[in-house]
Chain A
């Protein structure tokens, strides 16, 4: 195994043992073009030699910017062949954002996709960044550019071929010199807090993470993936680069961002990765198209989706299912699920993963019920996106699975998830302070996420560690986690929970006007508008049901069982980013809300039945007004903690 310790060596091994198998594909001019492993190796070699001819040295950083393209994936390997570090950057960042990373990583060489990226780099260069060589793969629109140091990938390869001839053996000795502990890639964290930080990962880290994933899900050389997520994101680097070179499967690059759905159908990947919003978008599309379908089709769809809901996930998990349901399910597979999966381009999927955000239980169950093995994982840039994985047949929508092979996970006293193993970052680039802050003396990386283990040893991520509080009784209180639970009910649009340092948990609820409005119509409940509807007794009892269901779930969740919601109220207005109550990405600003609605919070905690409130609102045209209402406060039933018998 010592031979396979760096990515260039892995590539060389594939090129030697299976030179004609497909390594990369890209749709170009309407036709899928294939690079075999030997072609890939050759191109990587030419580009590497070209870079060497330009003066790229061991330890230098190579910026890689563009959509998912075979040439750019190969550029990662080219840099690594020379002992350099690949620095993928987000292709949609504006020049200003790029300048910071370019400066921070001291980028002198960049391989980019097209004119758009060249323009941005030239703009950044005017602001004194050190990019001296810009190499582009698509020459369109660049014919008349005469900036110094700008050249096409074609000419670089030409240069490389000549250099290779005049320096025999130089390339191979560079590959030999590569060590598994060398940094292979630097991924910048998005930097929601402060400036982005460059996360330095070694060959060993990503190869360990990739090997673990490959063996865990039994990925093989004949698998196919479609790579369409940003190359600068850790998920894409793990799935489309590290696992590609470890397992030797085929990476397919879509024709353009707009054609991903079409290309997905044509390729029919066997292994698929997408954030929850992609799965959500697909499902919404299906539902809208079903609305327009003929009556017979709709009837079939409804009928068989009910069957799938009842038994689909169980069949996937290999559980006992009544013979009749099993028969109905196979009929449904022919009539509904099969064609549906085909339309989605998911017919051949063996394993699909989602990560990055909480996925709604209905959404998750939908895909599993039609027979798509959708699973969740947990990880971050600093751990090569590899901490926990859900094992087949042990799938829960609210956990992220068990510690992956060769990962140690433990919880700190405040619930923070700590991770140790070879996949933990080497360091933050030029930030010893940040490195020391996040990796402790024992080598554990502090994720900043708070989690709990359930009775079967599955990790559940509940909140950011800094948001987790304690009730005055000492019980752990994870407001985000409870709010998410509430928001999964279709009638609840937003929820805000309070309770840190208090003896009980209280909640503000925002009803979803569409869902509750529909429900009211069906129930013949007359209302004049949002405020009226929100204050109806019937609505309160509807919401109480939801809150109590959430409480019942909490009761089964160990440490969190004592933070059930005691009282709640339904707000008279929708929380709105325009009123600063939500961030632009629709996260609740709990502190601000607590202050703004102070009287309501007090009323909840002091046990009042009704509270009058007047609030300022900003209308879309910028005018402000105020609305007033008497808001009722309701109690919710709480449940005694349940401990499941250990499995």
Chain B
């Protein structure tokens, strides 16, 4: 019943042209071009070491490619840094969870609001004027995300005490707290059991549906990728070997050879 026919996929908002990245003599990415359209769920798949995470890191400015360009919303940038990426509405989660383990779920998600805070250090320390208003406004947004991702029961629990699947969800929550227009998810379902994967799939789809967030997703689990993505790019040894809808990718002989094996 719900949606994908009605969710309007828009124009290209991110475009990578002939991107190459190497570390010393190791070529991580070779001449890769692909694009992401507004409101779509775009997956990048490939075997271990294919360059998936490198691609994500290029998009949000952690790595700077030696060749090629990234164009984001009409602006061409060769050396975008992470801060600029965050400011322009790109948020991400990490393959290995990067949360503040001693802090509560609520506080962790609050850190995602960092960029929205305009009040000065002094105002915050004294909790006066803008600081107070801002905190209440930010808390409301955070509470809406807690509600959205069903984290109410662990709101005040320190992250260190949570099971893995919930931690992953908290990471997603923190990324959403920045109200991103594009969300980069680095293996959101790695290491999860079936039930946790189903939950996560639902949350990814809901996020896309509810907020219209564009999602770029790296994933190992083929089933998940084929089910939830609009388009899939396939990398192997730093090269793009396939690109298209899940069905196209599934029947691409080169992809079958490189990745899907006997499938």
Contacts and interface: CB of A to CB of B under 8 A. Distances in A.
B147 A259 contact: no
A418 to B, nearest CB: 45
Contacts of B153: 255-256, 258-259, 262
A144 B152 contact: no
Interface string B221-249: 00000000000000000000000000000
A119 B140 contact: no
A245 B152 CA distance: 29
Interface in A184-211: none
A122 interface: yes
Nearest to B4: A144
A119 B1 contact: yes
Contacts of A119: 1
A140 B152 contact: no
A256 B146 CA distance: 12
Contact of B1 (A30, A145, A258, A259): A145
Interface string B205-216: 010011000000
A140 B150 CA distance: 13
A90 B156 CA distance: 30
Most chain A CB atoms below 10 A, which of B1, B144, B146:
B1
A122 B1 CA distance: 10
Contact of A30 (B6, B150, B155): B155
Contacts of A28: 147
A254 to B, nearest CB: 9
B120 interface: no
B166 to A, nearest CB: 11
Contact of B2 (A29, A144, A255, A256): A144
Given A29-B140, A29-B144, A141-B209, A259 B3 contact: no
B157 to A, nearest CB: 10
Given A29-B143, A144-B3, A145-B1, A258 B152 contact: yes
Interface in B133-168: 139-140, 143-144, 146-148, 150, 152-153, 155-156
A144 to B, nearest CB: 5
Nearest to A257: B153
A144 B147 contact: no
A116 to B, nearest CB: 11
Contacts of B150: 256, 258
A448 B187 CA distance: 57
Contact of A256 (B6, B144, B152): B152
A29 B147 contact: yes
B255 to A, nearest CB: 32
Contacts of A262: 153, 156
Interface string A28-51: 111100000000000000000000
Nearest to B145: A29
Contacts of A30: 139, 143, 146, 152, 155
Nearest to B202: A141
Interface in A357-382: none
B176 to A, nearest CB: 15
Contacts of B210: 140-141
A101 B146 CA distance: 35
A262 B152 CA distance: 10
Interface string B107-151: 000000000000000000000000000000001100110111010
A258 B6 CA distance: 33
A302 to B, nearest CB: 27
A141 B143 contact: no
Contacts of B143: 29-31
A144 B6 contact: yes
A29 B1 CA distance: 28
Nearest to B140: A29
A605 B61 CA distance: 84
Interface string A118-145: 0100100000000000000000110011
A121 B187 CA distance: 35
Interface in A1-46: 28-31
Nearest to B150: A256
A147 to B, nearest CB: 8
B140 A141 contact: no
Contacts of B206: 141
Nearest to A31: B143
Nearest to B205: A141
Contacts of B144: 29
Interface in A232-282: 255-256, 258-259, 262
B113 to A, nearest CB: 15
A119 B2 CA distance: 10
A256 B150 CA distance: 9
Nearest to A138: B147
A28 B143 CA distance: 9
A256 B140 CA distance: 18
Contacts of B209: 141
Contacts of B148: 140
Contacts of A31: 143
A302 B6 CA distance: 63
A259 B2 contact: no
A145 B206 CA distance: 14
Interface string B1-36: 111001000000000000000000000000000000
A255 to B, nearest CB: 5
A122 B2 CA distance: 13
A140 B147 CA distance: 11
A259 B153 CA distance: 5
B195 to A, nearest CB: 15
A145 B3 CA distance: 8
Contacts of A255: 152-153
Nearest to B153: A258
A31 B3 CA distance: 32
B152 A259 contact: yes
A466 to B, nearest CB: 40
Nearest to A28: B147
A390 to B, nearest CB: 33
Contacts of A140: 148, 210
Contacts of B155: 30
Nearest to A142: B2
A637 to B, nearest CB: 52
A256 B209 CA distance: 23
A141 B150 CA distance: 14
B154 to A, nearest CB: 8
Contacts of B156: 262
B100 to A, nearest CB: 20
B212 to A, nearest CB: 11
A141 B2 contact: yes
Nearest to B157: A262
A33 B143 CA distance: 14
Most buried by B among A29, A140, A256: A29
Nearest to B206: A141
A358 to B, nearest CB: 30
A119 to B, nearest CB: 7
14 contacts: A28-B147, A29-B140, A29-B147, A30-B146, A30-B152, A30-B155, A141-B2, A141-B209, A145-B1, A255-B153, A256-B152, A258-B150, A258-B153, A262-B153
Given A28-B147, A256-B153, 12 more contacts: A29-B144, A29-B146, A29-B147, A30-B152, A30-B155, A119-B1, A144-B2, A258-B150, A258-B152, A259-B152, A259-B153, A262-B153
Interface of A: 28-31, 119, 122, 140-141, 144-145, 255-256, 258-259, 262
Interface of B: 1-3, 6, 139-140, 143-144, 146-148, 150, 152-153, 155-156, 206, 209-210
Which 5 pairs across A and B sit closest by C-beta, in order of nearness?
A: A258-B153, A29-B143, A259-B153, A30-B143, A255-B152
